[in-house]
Structure 1
């Protein structure tokens, strides 16, 4: 299969074999993947986000299952976003935290937090044995547009506070993409996952890019339906982006 980019050169797409679905254990899944050997992949990635693709390491993929269309690409139009009451409480609860954007490069502190997060939230989920190489392969890759948004507790004079969360974020001229977030499992009351997305929205607003891409939303799924809370929310139907809360009206 092939697509045509702005360069009018064909972009080759590959379909993976079936593999276990990460969201429904009884189902099998497969993906469409942009040619991993294409030297233009980093250049084409921002456009691919607009086609409903996502990045994992150096792979740019989109679910393409035979009998299932549950995974829906979604994004937040950041200029129209307004936090709801719960999100405003999350911001107030975490107003003492410090955020900074860093190059996508692993530190020992980040890796230790990543391992704690996996052990607490995704035990026996297939990522238990991730070492430094897997961290780099999954979250950074060779050509990525990534940055690490670090979120820290307040520090004492002259010292940085403890690392609480890292939001791995791709930065492109067409929008930010939330790749993966991991956080301190002992700080559950803070709502660090919500806080990280709110900070990414603020970051996108400050960078004056139109969207924060949130990956795939599954309506009603206990692990994925939280994305519906960021409103307005736009979804991609394979041809165009639609406003989820406006009866699937096309985006002008």
Structure 2
């Protein structure tokens, strides 16, 4: 019996400054996704913590740090909290479509606005249209750009306010990268809604999980991923439930503290 695909060759990047934890160095192990079995290979690697970027699958391989761990939401068990339910109502009139992985000028303009608002000076800030096209279109697996638009008017499509590059794997949806109109006050919370919408999509498609990439222990930027429960984390023995975060008690008003 022969294997469905040849065992891939893996490579390791040189150490570079970690974008999440000050003073740390990051290193990645990666392999190429190519050929007729690229999708199967991507599925297999996704189950052991790899992520896709264009035609490459990678995962952290830092010799002195294990803060990055793969996380995924269990779609069937997910129950939105009060904040998430409020956002589902607020954005319930958006028109959503799963488009083929083809980059558009409208998507790139939205991405530039998002990066300027949320990640100025970040590693993606210098992307041009060609870079964005590569990110979207150079996919050897089953990928989509899920677009979120304001309601159409007079037969014309509404404004694009959100998008997510998404892979459909054998056991779930993998959210590669999402962005939205963070410069619009009426789009506050849309990033959360996009994740909730993907969880609902996975459930309707009878897919078990939504892969959210890596949660970085100690990085405040990654704390938002803990809001989607139940969640599983990948450890040395495989995937296991991650305990839900304990809600922090609300701070007492100043006048009350003075009386204590």
Is the shorter-chain TM-score for this pair beyond 0.5, marking a shared fold? Answer: yes
Alpha-carbon distance in structure 2 between the residues aligned to 1:14 and 1:224: 27
Structure 2, gaps ≥5 residues long: 246-260
2:100 is aligned, of 98, 103, 115, to: 103
2:75 is aligned, of 68, 73, 78, to: 78
Query: Is the 1:56–1:139 contact (alpha carbons within 8 Å) kept by the matching residues of 2?
Result: no
Higher-Rg structure is 2
1:99-142 CA distance string (max 9 Å, x none) = 11111101111111111111221111122221121112223324
Displacement after TM superposition at 1:36 (Å): 5.2
Taking structure 1 as reference, are residues 205 and 102 closer, same or farther at Cα in structure 2, changes over 3 Å only?
A: same
Other-structure match for 1:191: 189
Correspondence list, 1:53-72, <5 A: 53-72=50-69
Query: Is the 1:58–1:137 contact (alpha carbons within 8 Å) kept by the matching residues of 2?
Result: no
- SS of the residue corresponding to residue 80 of structure 1 reads coil
Alpha-carbon distance in structure 1 between the residues aligned to 2:85 and 2:3: 41
1:229 is aligned, of 227, 231, 235, to: 227
Alpha-carbon distance in structure 1 between the residues aligned to 2:48 and 2:57: 11
Structure 1, gaps ≥5 residues long: 248-252
Query: Is the 1:111–1:135 contact (alpha carbons within 8 Å) kept by the matching residues of 2?
Result: yes
Larger deviation, residues 121-130 vs 55-64: 121-130
Other-structure match for 1:156: 153
Displacement after TM superposition at 1:94 (Å): 1.2
How many aligned positions are there? 243
Query: Is the 2:51–2:213 contact (alpha carbons within 8 Å) kept by the matching residues of 1?
Result: yes
Alpha-carbon distance in structure 2 between the residues aligned to 1:132 and 1:232: 37
Larger deviation, residues 39-48 vs 10-19: 39-48
**Are 1:87 and 2:122 an aligned pair?**
no
**Are 1:138 and 2:135 an aligned pair?**
yes
Larger deviation, residues 57-66 vs 237-246: 237-246
Alpha-carbon distance in structure 1 between the residues aligned to 2:88 and 2:34: 42
Alpha-carbon distance in structure 2 between the residues aligned to 1:93 and 1:131: 32
1:34 is aligned, of 31, 35, 39, to: 31
Other-structure match for 1:244: 242
- SS of the residue corresponding to residue 63 of structure 2 reads coil
| Cα root mean square deviation, aligned | 2.1
